[in-house]
A and B are shown apart, each in its own frame.
Chain A
Amino acid sequence: MTPSYLARRFFHALFVLWLSATLAFIALQLTPGDPAQALLAASGATADQVAARRERLGLDDPWLVQYLRYISDLARGNLGYSWLHGRPVGRMVLEQLLPTAELALAATAVGVALGLGLGVLAAVRQGTWVDVAATAVAAVGLSTPTYWSGLLAILFFSLQLCRFPAGGEGGLRHLVLPAAVLGFALSGSIARMVRARVAEVLGAPFVLAARARGLGARRVLLVHVLRAAVGPALAVTALQFGFLLGGAVITESVFARRGLGRLAVEAILWQDLPVVRGVILVGAVAYVLVNWAADVLQAWLDPRLWEERV
C-alpha cells in the first residue's frame, strides 16, 4: 500500500463525508414542518414565543447561511446542540455509539459464521436436500423482518424457555438474542454469495490440482476453498453495513436497547436536526471505515487485488 494510494483513499473518504453531511443538510431542509413549533406548540407557548425560538435556533436565516454555519462548525469538530435535549450532540452520539457498535459487531460475527456455514454446506452438498434446506434457511433469514423475528425470539427464548432476558443491557446474556436475530437476517445474503463462490471454486483448476496432489477433501475445503470464499463474504458484509445500522434501529427498539438507532428515530420525529445530522455523519464515518477495512482484508486474502492496488 503506497502512500499515494493511502492519500487517495483519505481524500476520497473526506469527500464522502462532506457529501453525506451536505446531503443530510439538504434532505432535512426539505422535510416539511417547523421544528420550533414542534418543540413548543403543546406547551401553550404563544405564536410570538415560537417565533422567538425559531430565531434563536437560527431557523430564520437563509439556507446558505445555515449551511455555512453548519459546515464551519463541523470543520472545527463541533456537532452543535440538540434542540430537544439541550445537550451537545457529540456527547449524545458518543453515549449511544458503543451499544450500537457492540450489537453490530456481535451481529456481524453471527452473520458471517452462519452465512459461511450455510453457504459452504449448500455448495458442498449441491443438489441434495442439505443444499435445499441451507438455501431455504438463508432465504428465510434474508426475508424475515427483524421486528418480527425479534418478537418471536423473545416469546420463545424469554417467555417460554426463560433463558434469555427480553431486553436491556448488561453483559453477554443480554446480547445473545438481539445479535442472533440481527445476525440471522444478515446471514442470508452472505450465505448466497458464499454458496455461489464456493460452488465456482470447487470446480476450479487449482482445486482439482490440489486434490490431484493427494490433499484430503477436508484440507482442500478449509484451506483453499474457504480462503477464496471469505473474500466475497467480507465484501458483502461491508456492503451490508448500512443494512446492519438500519436493522440495529429496529432490533434496538424490539430489545429495549439504547443505541444510535433510537436516538435517530426520536430526533427525526421531533426534527431535532443537529442530532439527525450528527447520527448520519457518524454512520457515514463508520461506513467509510468498515469498507476501507474490508478492502484491506480482501487484498490481504487475495494477492491479485493487492497487486492491482500497489
Chain B
Amino acid sequence: MRRFTILFALLVAIIPACAARPGDRLVYGLTLAPSGIDPHVNASSELGIPLTAVYDTLVYQDLSCNCFVAGLAERWEVSDDGLVYTFYLRQDIVFHDGIPFDAEAVRYNLERITSDDLASQKARFMLGPYDHAEVVDDYTIRIYLGEPFTPLLDALSQVYLGMASPAALAEWGEEYQLHQVGTGPYIFAEYVPGDHLLLRRNPDYAWGPEIYANETAQVEEIEFRFFVDPATRSPALETGEVQVMGEIPPQDASRLSESDDFAIVPAAVPGVSLMLFMNTARPPLDDVLVRQALLYGTDRQAIVTAIFADTSPVAYGPLAAATLGYEPAVQGMYPYNAERAADLLERAGWSDSDGDGIRDREGEPLVLDLYLMSWGYMPEIGQMAAAQWRAIGVDTVSQVVSYPEALSIASEGTHHLIPFTLSGSDPDILRKFFHSQALFNWSGVNDPEMDFWLEEAAQLGDRQQRVALYSRVQRQVMQQALVIPIRDYVNLNGISRRVQGLRFDAQGWFPQLIDVTLEDR
C-alpha cells in the first residue's frame, strides 16, 4: 500500500502544474456548444460571441448616442414611405479570402438568407417584410420592403445579417459553417464542433466602425471552448484554462468579484425580461383582480436576492431596463404587499372557507398550473414564487417541461403561468409577445388597441413617436397585469485581470473583441 502511495505522489509530482498559457492567445469560455453556427441559418445568441468579430455589418449601433453609425455602408437613405433603403458602401473592403466587398456581395448574402432552401431559423425573420434587393451600381444597393419596417436597421446591425464572402458560400455549401469567411477584425481559422473554435487576427483590417477603439485587433489568437455545465465555469477560469468565461453562476460571481486575480464584467442584455406570463384566457386568471393579486403577492426582490445574489436588476415591466424605449413608470407599480394581494383575492370572491390554507370559491380551490423550463433558473424561481403565493392562499401545481413542449402547451392555452425571457435590442420585440396574433401570446391577450400600437410602432420612422407608443404598451401590459416580471437578464462574464477592454455591444451578448487586450503577468 505504501508503495502505491509513493508511486502516486511521484506521479503527481512529475506532471506539470497549472501554468499560464504562453503567448498572445486568449481562451474564451462559451456556455453552449452551438454545433450550428452559420449566422444566416442558426439562431443561438452564443454564435454571435465569436462571429461578431468575423463579420462586419452594414451598420452598427452606437450605445453612447443610441443611434446607428456607418459600417460596411458609409451612409444610407430611407425613402419617405419607408419602403426603400439605399446603402452606399465603402469601397476599400476585402473579405478574408481576398475578394473585394461590393453591392453584388450584399445582394448575394440577402438572397441566400431569404431563400427557402437555406431554411434560416432567425436571419430571414429579422428582415421582416423584405421583398428583394437591387444592385444599383458596384457600391450601391437598394433593399425593397413590402411594408415599412423600422427595426430593419437594428436587424442589419447584427451578426445574423453579417456579410459573408460569396465565393466561400458557393464553394462550401452546406458545410459553410465550418469554413466561414467575413470581413471582420478576426479570421475564422478553425472550428471543431463541440470542441473549439479558433479566430486569428486579421492584420489588414482597417475599416472598423467608429464604435471600435482600435484599428486592428490586439490579441493574435482567440480560442473559444464550450462549458455547458454551469458548475465547471468558474473552476475553468480559476485554473487559468480560460481568461474569459460567460454566464458565471451568480453565487460564484460574488466570490470571484472579491478576488484579486479575477473580475466580473456584467453585461445587461436588452429585450423582454424574465417574466411569468399569466394566461388571461383561462379562469381564474381571466379576472384582473386575481392577476393583480399575484403581482402584489410576488416578492421579486427576495427572488433576485436568493437566486441571483442581487446580480441582476429586479424587473418591473415587460422590457428590460437596458432596452430602447424602456418606460420607467412601471417601477412604482405592484410593490410587494401580501395584505393588498389577500384583499384583492377577497374582492374577487376567493376566500379560505374550509380553513385548509388555500382559498376557494363556490367549492373550487384556487389552484394554478405552472409550467417551467429547466434553464434560466426557472425551476428555482417557480419554487420560490409558489411558496410566496401559498402564503396568500394560492396553490400551484408545477411541472418542468422542455421548450418545444412549453410552446405547444402555451399555444393550446392549457397553462395558467409560464415564464420566458428573450433578448433583443429593438422594442419591437414586444410584438412577439403582446400582439393578439403573436406566437408567444402566452398571456392570451386580445386587445385591438395594443395590436394597433404595436403595428404602428414597427412602421413609424420617428424614434420619439415609436418610444411613446411602446411606453403605452408597457403601461397597458402592467395595468392589465398580463405578466409578473422577475428580473432583467445580465450576463455575468468572469475574466482574468490580465484581460482588458472587454466591452459588449448593443445586444448585450456580443463582445467587441477588437478592443480586448491580454496583459502578460
The chain A residues found within 8 Å of chain B, CB to CB, are 31-35, 37-47, 49-50, 52-53, 56, 81-88, 92, 95-96, 99, 147, 151, 154-155, 158-159, 161-169, 173, 253-259, 262-263, 266, 268-271
Task: For chain B, residues 392 to 435, give those with C-beta under 8 angstroms from any C-beta of chain A.
Answer: 402-405, 407-409, 411, 422, 431-432
User: Given A32-B408, A270-B403: A166 and B432 within 8 A (CB)?
Assistant: no
B231 CB-CB contact with A under 8 Å? yes
Of A44, A173, A268, which is within 8 A of B125 by CB? A44
Q: How far is the CB of B133 from chain A (nearest CB, A)?
A: 20
User: Given A41-B440, A43-B126, A151-B232: A99 and B195 within 8 A (CB)?
Assistant: yes
User: Given A56-B116, A86-B38, A256-B226: A33 and B408 within 8 A (CB)?
Assistant: yes
A44 to B441, alpha carbons, bound, how many Å?
A: 12
Q: What mask results when residues 16 to 28 of chain B are scored 1 for a CB within 8 Å of chain A, else 0?
A: 0110000000000
Q: How far is the CB of B371 from chain A (nearest CB, A)?
A: 11
- Inside 8 A of A50's CB, which chain B residues have their CB? 439
Of B17, B119, B235, which is within 8 A of A154 by CB? B235
B41 nearest CB neighbor, chain A only: A86
Interface pair B18/A96, CB less than 8 Å apart: no
* Stretch of B53-61, B236-244, B287-295 that contacts chain A: B236-244
- Inside 8 A of B116's CB, which chain A residues have their CB? 52, 56
Shortest beta-carbon contacts, A-B, top 5: A258-B194, A33-B404, A85-B36, A162-B18, A38-B404
A41 to B442, alpha carbons, bound, how many Å?
A: 12
A163 nearest CB neighbor, chain B only: B15
B120 nearest CB neighbor, chain A only: A43
- Inside 8 A of B38's CB, which chain A residues have their CB? 86
- Inside 8 A of B15's CB, which chain A residues have their CB? 163-164, 173
B81 CB-CB contact with A under 8 Å? no
A60 to B439, alpha carbons, bound, how many Å?
A: 19
- Inside 8 A of B405's CB, which chain A residues have their CB? 31-33
Interface pair B195/A168, CB less than 8 Å apart: yes
User: Given A163-B12, A256-B226: A40 and B125 within 8 A (CB)?
Assistant: yes
- Inside 8 A of A43's CB, which chain B residues have their CB? 43, 121-122, 124-126
Interface pair B43/A42, CB less than 8 Å apart: yes
Interface pair A167/B407, CB less than 8 Å apart: no
User: Given A47-B439, A53-B119, A256-B227: A263 and B232 within 8 A (CB)?
Assistant: no
The chain B residues found within 8 Å of chain A, CB to CB, are 12, 15, 17-18, 33, 35-36, 38, 41-43, 116, 118-119, 121-122, 124-126, 128, 174-175, 177, 192-196, 225-229, 231-232, 235-236, 238-239, 241, 402-405, 407-409, 411, 422, 431-432, 437, 439-440
- Inside 8 A of B193's CB, which chain A residues have their CB? 92, 95-96, 258
- Inside 8 A of B121's CB, which chain A residues have their CB? 39-40, 43, 84
Interface pair B241/A38, CB less than 8 Å apart: no
Q: List 22 A-B contacts (CB under 8 A).
A: A33-B403, A33-B405, A34-B404, A34-B408, A37-B411, A42-B440, A44-B128, A45-B124, A49-B125, A84-B36, A85-B42, A85-B177, A158-B239, A162-B18, A167-B236, A168-B195, A254-B229, A254-B231, A256-B227, A257-B195, A262-B228, A268-B402
- Inside 8 A of A41's CB, which chain B residues have their CB? 407, 439-440
Interface pair B119/A86, CB less than 8 Å apart: yes
Q: How far is the CB of A29 from chain B (nearest CB, A)?
A: 13
- Inside 8 A of B174's CB, which chain A residues have their CB? 81, 86-88
Interface pair A85/B232, CB less than 8 Å apart: no
A88 to B175, alpha carbons, bound, how many Å?
A: 9
- Inside 8 A of B402's CB, which chain A residues have their CB? 33, 268-269, 271
- Inside 8 A of A81's CB, which chain B residues have their CB? 174
Interface pair B33/A262, CB less than 8 Å apart: yes
- Inside 8 A of B407's CB, which chain A residues have their CB? 33-34, 37-38, 41
- Inside 8 A of A269's CB, which chain B residues have their CB? 402-403
Interface pair B232/A166, CB less than 8 Å apart: yes
- Inside 8 A of B17's CB, which chain A residues have their CB? 161-163
Q: How far is the CB of A97 from chain B (nearest CB, A)?
A: 11
Interface pair A253/B42, CB less than 8 Å apart: no
User: Given A84-B36, A87-B174, A266-B35: A42 and B422 within 8 A (CB)?
Assistant: yes
Q: How far is the CB of A85 from chain B (nearest CB, A)?
A: 3
- Inside 8 A of B42's CB, which chain A residues have their CB? 84-86
- Inside 8 A of A270's CB, which chain B residues have their CB? 403-404
Interface pair B241/A166, CB less than 8 Å apart: yes
- Inside 8 A of A167's CB, which chain B residues have their CB? 225, 227, 232, 236, 241
B13 nearest CB neighbor, chain A only: A163
Interface pair A168/B241, CB less than 8 Å apart: yes
A167 to B239, alpha carbons, bound, how many Å?
A: 10
- Inside 8 A of A96's CB, which chain B residues have their CB? 193-194
B409 nearest CB neighbor, chain A only: A32
Interface pair B194/A262, CB less than 8 Å apart: yes
A83 to B35, alpha carbons, bound, how many Å?
A: 12
User: Given A256-B229, A258-B195, A262-B194: A155 and B404 within 8 A (CB)?
Assistant: no
Q: How far is the CB of B287 from chain A (nearest CB, A)?
A: 28
Q: How far is the CB of A198 from chain B (nearest CB, A)?
A: 20
Of B36, B194, B431, which is within 8 A of A95 by CB? B194
A255 to B232, alpha carbons, bound, how many Å?
A: 8
- Inside 8 A of B241's CB, which chain A residues have their CB? 165-168
- Inside 8 A of A33's CB, which chain B residues have their CB? 402-405, 407-408
Interface pair A38/B403, CB less than 8 Å apart: yes
Interface pair B232/A154, CB less than 8 Å apart: yes
Q: How far is the CB of B347 from chain A (nearest CB, A)?
A: 36
A252 to B222, alpha carbons, bound, how many Å?
A: 23
Of B119, B128, B229, which is within 8 A of A253 by CB? B229
- Inside 8 A of A87's CB, which chain B residues have their CB? 35-36, 174-175, 177
Q: How far is the CB of A91 from chain B (nearest CB, A)?
A: 8
A172 to B439, alpha carbons, bound, how many Å?
A: 49
User: Given A256-B227, A259-B194, A262-B194: A37 and B232 within 8 A (CB)?
Assistant: no
Interface pair A166/B239, CB less than 8 Å apart: yes
- Inside 8 A of B411's CB, which chain A residues have their CB? 37
A154 to B439, alpha carbons, bound, how many Å?
A: 43
Interface pair B404/A256, CB less than 8 Å apart: no
- Inside 8 A of A271's CB, which chain B residues have their CB? 402, 404
A111 to B12, alpha carbons, bound, how many Å?
A: 21
A257 to B229, alpha carbons, bound, how many Å?
A: 11
A291 to B29, alpha carbons, bound, how many Å?
A: 38
